[in-house]
Structure 1
Amino acid sequence: MSHTAHIPSHRKPRRSASKLAVRAGVAGGVLSTLAMAGTASASPAAEPVTETLEMPVLNVDLASEVSSAVTTAAENTRAAAVEGELQAEEESARSGAATEAKQAKEAAEKKAKQEADRKAEAERATRNAERSALKTASAASSSAGQGVGTVTAPSTGSAAAIINFARAQVGKAYVMGATGPSAYDCSGLVQAAYRQAGISLPRTSQSQSSYGTSVSLSALQPGDILYWGSKGSAYHVAIYVGGGKFVGAQNPSTGIVERNLSYDRPTGAVRVL
């Protein structure tokens, strides 16, 4: 066993750095004060000075307070930065939304204008088509007066009676099998009109289309019988009234009407008078 094993250590316990710093500061302050007092006592004319020094009270927790203040300042700075970023993002979002709304409005206005232009163009096309149809109808009517359906004889005597009766029935109803006086079918109207001239015709359109003498559509006279289909087996008949027109009981939807030959061009014609 060592001879010094039971000898207690004479080393003093190590002091903390903060306490040493505090004591060093106090010692320095005391030494400075003593030096000033010594200088004053060395002066021959100076009077004895009695001075009470108040030593500052040092707080050993100053470092923690400073650290806390620094931390708080850092947190405040970071919070301000975050708030600034949020405001910037909100402003950017508002700006982006406004831009999108403007673009959407411009797109909607452009689409509406295109639709309006399309409708206007369609209306112009429709009007042009209607004008073209009117010109075509007018030309057909004019050609009918000079070619097909040319009136080669005045509508006098028996023909006039037939035509006047037929025109007087315009507007009445079409009824299959009817022979008047309030409604007719096609052959019933022709038969009733010829009865005004004292002529008795067969009842059906097939028989009427083969009655009399065949004539060309380019040499029609008022009172001629027009037929549609083959001669002797026609499915429709009407009366030529001159001026390129005919009167006939067309169908249940139109009734008895007066139309241009171009409305429904007949197949042939026969002359009974």
Structure 2
Amino acid sequence: MSQTAPIRSHRKPRRSASKMALRAGVAGGVFSTIAVAGAAAPANAEPVTETTLEMPTLGSLDADLASAVSASAEASQQEALDQSLAAQENAALKKAAADARKAKAEADRKAEAERAEKARAEARERASRTATRTTLSAKSSSSDSVGSSSSSSQVATGSAAAIVAFARAQVGDAYVMGSTGPNSWDCSGLVQAAYAQAGIDLPRVSSAQSSMGTSVSLSNLQPGDILYWGSRSGSYHVAIYVGGGKYVGAQNPSTGVVERSLDWDMPSGAVRIL
């Protein structure tokens, strides 16, 4: 090697002052940021992860708003419908209650009217019965006084006695429509059987029996005369006069064969066959 050859230097080439200053500033800023972050964060804090928030778009906001408005409108309509139905139900209940009260009042009024009319009818019937009994009693008294000087003087004799005795013997027997004895009778069956005791054959029905013989006044009755109710040729009931202002007849299913005074049920007329 030549002693005069130049010796290569091992030093790195110097950087320019401006580059060194720039690097120092950047490094200092980075270290400062790290230091501040390290001082602010707790010792055991987890590493911070980045989260990306997705902002809604304008179109989705419009759809959500429209849906909310529609739901609100539907809710308002449903509430209005519910209120309307409730009002209708209340009105129907009030009307039904009013109709029920009106119907009850009308029924009560009719029932009261019917009770009043029934009471008036019963009063009229009682008055009519009283008047009829008074009239019949007067007629009976007149009949007894004209027909005989006293009731005891009307004693049946001969055929009349047989008829009267048979009729009285059946008192207490039952009344049965169409029956001719021996233990139950209807009115004409009893009269027919009684007259058979005297050997007299009478028709079976009352209208034909009252058409027999001679018509006599109720004020001139004799034992054995046939009493009738209704018209003479169209009578609906017959009995036998037994004297003393009384008669024996098969009255009805409730009473059977009874002996009653004329004023209990005054006959329409009488016929004499004996």
The TM-score normalised by the length of structure 2 is: 0.52
Consecutive unaligned residues in structure 2, runs of 5 or more: 1-53, 204-208
Whole-Å separation in 1 of the counterparts to 2:115 and 2:154: 55
Match of 2:191 in 1: 186
Q: What is the percentage of aligned positions where both structures have the same residue?
A: 27
2:65 pairs with 1:70: yes
Residues 215-254 of structure 1 aligned to structure 2 (within 5 Å): 216-221=217-222, 223-226=223-226, 228=228, 238-242=239-243, 244-248=245-249
User: Pairwise mapping of residues 161-172 of structure 1 onto structure 2 (< 5 A)?
Assistant: 166-172=167-173
Please give the residue correspondences for 1:122-271 in structure 2 after superposition, counting only pairs within 5 Å. 122-148=117-143, 150=145, 152=148, 153-156=150-153, 158-159=155-156, 166-172=167-173, 185-190=190-195, 192=197, 202-204=200-202, 210=213, 216-221=217-222, 223-226=223-226, 228=228, 238-242=239-243, 244-248=245-249, 256-261=257-262, 263=265, 265-270=267-272
Structure 1 residue matching 2:102: 3-state secondary structure: helix
Paired AA for residue 159 in structure 1: A
The one-letter code sitting in structure 1 at the alignment partner of 2:226 is L
What amino acid sits opposite 2:225 in the alignment?
A: I
SS in 1 for 2:226: strand
Deviation, structure 1 residue 131 = 0.9
CA distance in 2, matches of 1:158, 1:137: 28
Following superposition, the deviation at residue 261 of structure 1 comes to: 4.2
Deviation, 1:201, is 5.8
Please state how far the C-alpha of 1:260 moved relative to its aligned partner: 5.0
Aligned CA distance change for structure 1 residues 185 and 174 (closer, same or farther; 3 Å): farther
* Structure 2 Cα separation of the partners of residues 78 and 185 of structure 1: 97
- 1:116 paired to 2:121: no
1:116 and 1:127 map into 2 onto residues whose CA distance is 16
Aligned partner of residue 147 in structure 1, secondary structure = helix
Larger Rg: 2
Cα offset, 1:180, TM superposition: 6.3
User: TM-score when scaled to structure 1?
Assistant: 0.52
8 Å CA contact 2:191–2:240 kept in 1: the answer is: no
The answer for unaligned runs of 5 or more in structure 1 is: 1-58, 193-199
How far 1:149 moved relative to its partner?
5.0
Whether contact under 8 Å (1:187, 1:238) holds in the other structure is no
Q: Which moved more, 1:98-107 or 1:167-176?
A: 167-176
Aligned equivalents of 2:267 and 2:97: distance in 1? 61
DSSP 3-state at the match of 2:86: helix
2:97, 2:136 → 1: CA distance? Answer: 58
1:97 to 81, 89, 92: 92
Q: What is the aligned length?
A: 204
Alignment counterpart, residue 77 of structure 2, candidates 77, 82, 96: 82
- Kindly tell me: are residues 118 and 217 of structure 1, through their superposed partners in 2, closer, same or farther at Cα, counting changes over 3 Å? same
Does structure 2 conserve the Cα–Cα contact (< 8 Å) formed by 1:186 and 1:237? yes
